[in-house]
C-alpha cells in the first residue's frame, strides 16, 4: 500500500465546519486519472483538487478538479482551499504575494492578502466572463428548481453565465423562496446535461445578511452534486452577469459579498471584486479558509 497526503479545507469561511469543504491532494504528480477519480469518490466531497508540476513556466502548479463522479474544468472553492493550504501549511504566503494555477481553462492567479502578518484571504482572478441566452421556458425552469413562476424576479433576465464553467443563473424575488426551493434533481440533471450546464444558481438581492449584497443557492446534479454549499465559480459567473447585463454599472468598480450555504447549515461568505481593463470586466473572487483534516490515504500501488 502507498500513502497519499490529503487535506480537507473549508473554503469561504473563517470557522471550521462552515463554507464548502474541498479535498486537496498536494502531491499528485504520480497519480493516474483513474486513481484521482477514485480518490475523489472516496473523499465524497463536492470537489477534490489535485496538484502537480505545471506544463507552463508561467504557472506554479497544474491543478485538476474532480467531483465524486467526473472531472470538471474549474472549481472556485477548491481553488481557494488549495491556495489557502499552500499559503499557510506550504508557506507560500511568506515567500511571494501570489500563486498561479494552470487549469483546463487557462491560468488562474491567486493573490495572498496579508494583514497583521497573517493570511486574511486569497483572491483569484477568474477568466473573462461571458453570458448567453437559454431557450428553456420560464415555467419549466421554475418547475425544475422547485419554485413557483411568481417567485422568479422578471426584472432581471435568466441567463447562462461563464467564468470557466457554464452556470444557469436564475433571479429570485426573495431569500425565503430560495430557501424553500426543492429541486427535482433528476429532471434538473437531465436538463443541465443536455445544455452543458455545470450548475444551476439561484440568486436574490434580498440577502438579509448585513454585509452581503446577494444570497445564493447552487444545485449541480449534472456533475454529481445535488447541492454545493458555497460556490466560487458560480458566484464569479454571477458577478460577470451582473455587469454584462447592465444590472451593475460598468462605469465604476464594485466590491461586495455574497452569502451562501445557510440553508444547508454551512454558512459562507464570498468576496467579489469587479474592476475593468480597456472596458472589459475583471472578476476576482475570494475569501478565507480553514483546514480541518490532514491525513494519509492508503491506496494500492499503481502498476
Cell matching residue 252: 465604476
Closest to 110 measured CA to CA, from 39, 37, 51, 70:
51
Question: Which among 29, 47, 91, 301 is annotated as catalytic?
Answer: 47
Calpha distance 124→57 (Å, rounded): 19
Active site residue 42: no
Calpha distance 238→143 (Å, rounded): 21
Between CA 202 and CA 68, with CA 200 as vertex, the angle to 5 degrees is: 130
Calpha distance 11→120 (Å, rounded): 12
Q: Are 251 and 3 in contact (CB under 8 A)?
A: no
What φ, ψ does residue 263 adopt, rounded to 5°? -60, -35
Calpha distance 2→301 (Å, rounded): 6
Torsion sign, CA atoms 251, 209, 145, 49: positive
User: For residue 62, what are the contacts with CB-CB under 8 A and spacing of at least 6?
Assistant: 51, 52, 53, 54, 55, 101, 102, 103
Residue matched to cell numbers 444545485: 219
Calpha distance 199→189 (Å, rounded): 9
Q: Which residues are catalytic?
A: 47
Amino acid at each position: 500500500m502507498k500513502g497519499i497526503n490529503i487535506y480537507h479545507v473549508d473554503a469561504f469561511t473563517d470557522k471550521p465546519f462552515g463554507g464548502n469543504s474541498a479535498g486537496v491532494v498536494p502531491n499528485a504528480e504520480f497519480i493516474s486519472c483513474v486513481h484521482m477519480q477514485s480518490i475523489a469518490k472516496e473523499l465524497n466531497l463536492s470537489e477534490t483538487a489535485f496538484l502537480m508540476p505545471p506544463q507552463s513556466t508561467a504557472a506554479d502548479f497544474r491543478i485538476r478538479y474532480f467531483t465524486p463522479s467526473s472531472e470538471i474544468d474549474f472549481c472556485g472553492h477548491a481553488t481557494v482551499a488549495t491556495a489557502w493550504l499552500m499559503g499557510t501549511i506550504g508557506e507560500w504566503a511568506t515567500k511571494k504575494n501570489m500563486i498561479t494555477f494552470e487549469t483546463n481553462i487557462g491560468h488562474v492567479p491567486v493573490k495572498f492578502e496579508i494583514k497583521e502578518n497573517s493570511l486574511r484571504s486569497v483572491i483569484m482572478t477568474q477568466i473573462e466572463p461571458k453570458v448567453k441566452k437559454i431557450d428553456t421556458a420560464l415555467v419549466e425552469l421554475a418547475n425544475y428548481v422547485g419554485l413557483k413562476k411568481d417567485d422568479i424576479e422578471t426584472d432581471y433576465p435568466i441567463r447562462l453565465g461563464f467564468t470557466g464553467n457554464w452556470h444557469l443563473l436564475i433571479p429570485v424575488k426573495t431569500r425565503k423562496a430560495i430557501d424553500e426551493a426543492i429541486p427535482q434533481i433528476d429532471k434538473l440533471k437531465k436538463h443541465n446535461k443536455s445544455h452543458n450546464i455545470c450548475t444551476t444558481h439561484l440568486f436574490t438581492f434580498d440577502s438579509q445578511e448585513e454585509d452581503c449584497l446577494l444570497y445564493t443557492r447552487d444545485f449541480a446534479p449534472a456533475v454529481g452534486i445535488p447541492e454545493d454549499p458555497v460556490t466560487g465559480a458560480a458566484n464569479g459567473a454571477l458577478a460577470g452577469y451582473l455587469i454584462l447585463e447592465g444590472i451593475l454599472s460598468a462605469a465604476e468598480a464594485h466590491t461586495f459579498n455574497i452569502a451562501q450555504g445557510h440553508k444547508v447549515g454551512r454558512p459562507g461568505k464570498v468576496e467579489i471584486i469587479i474592476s475593468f481593463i480597456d472596458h472589459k470586466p475583471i472578476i476576482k473572487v475570494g475569501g478565507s479558509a480553514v483546514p480541518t483534516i490532514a491525513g494519509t490515504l492508503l491506496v494500492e500501488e499503481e502498476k
